[in-house]
Every structure is written in structure tokens, then in C-alpha cells.
């Protein structure tokens, strides 16, 4: 029911199939009088675009976004913002052979089980192409947040693991993220991954990844107990991204292994400002932001489209072997970095607006 949208106050609904005429989204609820142009959105789309490194799909599309409504004379009007990207490089022929076959790890079987029909071209609706519209919506959210929260605000993502290879957190350098093709904050890890992915591709296989997204400059007080918690909505937002199998906040699963006297973040005053002495909580307590960095990580499984033949069935019940040719990222997790950033921005803006609906202007509560 209305499952192709997310957010309450800042609501994004996406539509479109990988190989249909276009993909798009409608943003309902964006604040008025925010300067917005196609270039603002295009910048973020370009970060996600395929074909930028040897390790992302060679499908080359300009992914040129158009604003069809909700912006007038360079500013948002408060009415729905409709965004659309036409699909150009479709190459339907690549996909004909998997028309009736269920590719292991993909949603082919489950879409058929649910709907009794599916658009098999390039995965149809289940393709990661849908995430382009998340990035577009996130770009709008970031514009609004920047205006509301000022210069301290920022959302940044990084790849922290590829296959079994993790970064060394002591080498974390945000500036490095834009210097390599992996959004890696650790240059050495990027080098390791480069070699590893070459091997993986040569062997006809693929690799998973872990992404970390950090939001800074977030005021305390965002989030709504007990089912609309900030972490609840972040978990949902990240888990809804294709191929994601796990989400954690702050220490996440590691928190289960830490004793209680180490796990809780202590507080002190810094002049007249409360400060936390650590951030195990990832910036969220009781579902509400603490004023520290909000930290989320999510795990992406290896790309399911691989050149190694795998056992499967077709929709007529025959046993078959499936091998997926075509252009596929050996590690879809890489391009999930800007997607995770976008989802973080959308959730934060939605909660900022929800907070102000109930509690009034930010900072008036305490």
C-alpha cells in the first residue's frame, strides 16, 4: 500500500523500471522558497553515475535530470517537485535470455510469486537504477538542510569494507574519499580493493561491501519515540536500498559485546554546552538525536549478476543454469555510498520538519 514512497513531512515517491522510457520521483512537502536548479541535483547524480571506474558498470548514461514541477523562477514553491530522467542506453537484447529464468540472488522469483508478472528487462523495478531517484531527492533534502542548519551541517559517506577487506580506521581521512574511485577514506584500503576486485572479476564472481554514512551539525532533539525514532527510520531507509542485508547505528552489533560501563557515552559541560565524551550511541539515544554526529553503517551483499553459472529454475518449473552476461558492477556497494548519503539527508529533513510540527522551531524546546 503506497509502498513506493517514504517520509512523512518530506515525502518521496519513486517510479520507473530499469529499461522503461524513464524513471522519476515526486517530492511532496518540500519547503517553499529554497533556491533549486537542475544543476544542484545533477551534481549528486554524477557521483552515483555508472561508468566512472573500472569497477562499476559500463552502462553509460548521462542521467540528465529534468525538473517538471514545483520550482518557479529558481525557487521551490511548496508544491510537488517532479523529477524525471529518461532512460537512453537500454540495450534490451542483453536481457532477453533471462526472460523466463530466475537469476539467483535477484528478485525475479519473488516478483513472479507476488505479482504473477514482471518486467524482466534489466531487473525492471527491482534494478538498482531506482536509486538514482533517491540521490536526486537527497540532493533536494541537502539544499533545504544546509539552509536550515547552516555551515556546520554535512552528510558524508565512505566505503569501509570491500569483500573481507576493511579499512584501517586510524587512517581515516575524509579528503581521501573524493580522491579514489571507491569513496574510501583510507588510501591503502582503496589500493587493496582495486587489486581484489580485479581478481574477483576475473574469477567471474563479485564482492560485497560496508558503507558508513555520517551526518554532522545535527541538533539534539530530532526523532520521535517510539516507532518513529530517528534510528528506526534510518534503519528502514538503508535496508530499503537494493542488496542491503544489515544496518547498524553507532557501535551497532559490537555494542552487544561491550560491558555496560564502557558502552554508555558520558557527558560533561564545555562551557555552557553539554558535550559527550564518546559516541558509542552513534548520535541517537531513545530514538532522538543527541547533537553528536549521527553514524550509520550498512552491509551490501555481493552483486548477484555474475559470470559463474549457478543452479536455478525457470518460471515453467524446469531446472536451468543461469549465468549473467552484460555490464554489471562487480561490487554494487561502491555506488551505494551516495545513495546512503541521500537517504540520510531525506530522513533527517523529514524529522526536522516533524519536530517543528510538534515542538516548534528548533532549539525552542529545551
Residues at the binding site for NADP(+) are 48, 54
Tell me whether residue 32 or residue 179 sits nearer to a second copy (CB atom): 32
Tell me whether residue 45 or residue 211 sits nearer to a second copy (CB atom): 211
Distances (CA, A) of 220 to 83, 209, 283, 291: 32, 31, 9, 4
- The cell for 243 is 542488496
Tell me whether residue 62 or residue 309 sits nearer to a second copy (CB atom): 309
Tell me whether residue 40 or residue 314 sits nearer to a second copy (CB atom): 314
- The cell for 95 is 536481457
Question: Rounded to the nearest whole angstrom, what is the least distance from the CB of residue 157 to a second copy in the complex?
Answer: 15
Question: Rounded to the nearest whole angstrom, what is the least distance from the CB of residue 355 to a second copy in the complex?
Answer: 7
Pairing of strands 22-28, 154-162: unpaired
Binding-site members are 48, 54, 125-127, 242-243, 286, 301-305, 327
Question: Rounded to the nearest whole angstrom, what is the least distance from the CB of residue 269 to a second copy in the complex?
Answer: 6
Torsion sign across C-alpha atoms 56, 61, 64, 68: negative
Question: Rounded to the nearest whole angstrom, what is the least distance from the CB of residue 293 to a second copy in the complex?
Answer: 15
Question: Rounded to the nearest whole angstrom, what is the least distance from the CB of residue 213 to a second copy in the complex?
Answer: 15
Under DSSP, is residue 213 helix (H, G, I), strand (E, B) or coil? Answer: strand
Distance (Å, whole) CA 69 – CA 26: 9
Question: Rounded to the nearest whole angstrom, what is the least distance from the CB of residue 196 to a second copy in the complex?
Answer: 10
Binding-site members for FMN are 125-127, 242-243, 286, 301-305, 327
Under DSSP, is residue 159 helix (H, G, I), strand (E, B) or coil? Answer: strand
Under DSSP, is residue 136 helix (H, G, I), strand (E, B) or coil? Answer: helix
* Contact of 88 with 61, CB cutoff 8 Å: yes
Tell me whether residue 54 or residue 179 sits nearer to a second copy (CB atom): 54
Helix axes 131-149, 38-48, angle to 10 degrees: 130
Tell me whether residue 178 or residue 261 sits nearer to a second copy (CB atom): 261
Under DSSP, is residue 356 helix (H, G, I), strand (E, B) or coil? Answer: helix
Distance (Å, whole) CA 51 – CA 58: 4
Amino acid at each position: 500500500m503506497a509502498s513506493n514512497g517514504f517520509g512523512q513531512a518530506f515525502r518521496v515517491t519513486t517510479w520507473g523500471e530499469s529499461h522503461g522510457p524513464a524513471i522519476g520521483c515526486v517530492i511532496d512537502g518540500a519547503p517553499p522558497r529554497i533556491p533549486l536548479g537542475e544543476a544542484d541535483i545533477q551534481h549528486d547524480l554524477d557521483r552515483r553515475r555508472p561508468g566512472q571506474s573500472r569497477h562499476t558498470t559500463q552502462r553509460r548514461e548521462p542521467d540528465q535530470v529534468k525538473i517538471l514541477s514545483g520550482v518557479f523562477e529558481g525557487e521551490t514553491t511548496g508544491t510537488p517537485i517532479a523529477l524525471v530522467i529518461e532512460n537512453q542506453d537500454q540495450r534490451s537484447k542483453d536481457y532477453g535470455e533471462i526472460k523466463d529464468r530466475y537469476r539467483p540472488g535477484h528478485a525475479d522469483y519473488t516478483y513472479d510469486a507476488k505479482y504473477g508478472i514482471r518486467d524482466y528487462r534489466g531487473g525492471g523495478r527491482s534494478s538498482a537504477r531506482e536509486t538514482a531517484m533517491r540521490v536526486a531527492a537527497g540532493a533536494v533534502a541537502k539544499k533545504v538542510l544546509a539552509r536550515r542548519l547552516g555551515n556546520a551541517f554535512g552528510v558524508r559517506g565512505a566505503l569501509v569494507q570491500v569483500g573481507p577487506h576493511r579499512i584501517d580506521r586510524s587512517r581515516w581521512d575524509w579528503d581521501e574519499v573524493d580522491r579514489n574511485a571507491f569513496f574510501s577514506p583510507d588510501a591503502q584500503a582503496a589500493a587493496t580493493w582495486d587489486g581484489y576486485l580485479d581478481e574477483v572479476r576475473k574469477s567471474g564472481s563479485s564482492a560485497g561491501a560496508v558503507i558508513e554514512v555520517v551526518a554532522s551539525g545535527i541538533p539534539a532533539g530530532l526523532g520521535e519515540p517510539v516507532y518513529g525514532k530517528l534510528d528506526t527510520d534510518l534503519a528502514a531507509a538503508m535496508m530499503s536500498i537494493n542488496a542491503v542485508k544489515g544496518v547498524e547505528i553507532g557501535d551497532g552489533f559490537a555494542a552487544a559485546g561491550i560491558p555496560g560501563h564502557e558502552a554508555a557515552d558520558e557527558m560533561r559541560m564545555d562551557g555552557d554546552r553539554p558535550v559527550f565524551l564518546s559516541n558509542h550511541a552513534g548520535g541517537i539515544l531513545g530514538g532522538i538525536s543527541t547533537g553528536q554526529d549521527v553514524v550509520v553503517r550498512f552491509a551490501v551483499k555481493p552483486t548477484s549478476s555474475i559470470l559463474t553459472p549457478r543452479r536455478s529454475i525457470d518460471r515453467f518449473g524446469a531446472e536451468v543454469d543461469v549465468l549473467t552476461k552484460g555490464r554489471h558492477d562487480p561490487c554494487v556497494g561502491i555506488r551505494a555510498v551516495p545513495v546512503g548519503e541521500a537517504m540520510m539527508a531525506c530522513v533527517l529533513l523529514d524529522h526536522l520538519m516533524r519536530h517543528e510540527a510538534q515542538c516548534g522551531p528548533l532549539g525552542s524546546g529545551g
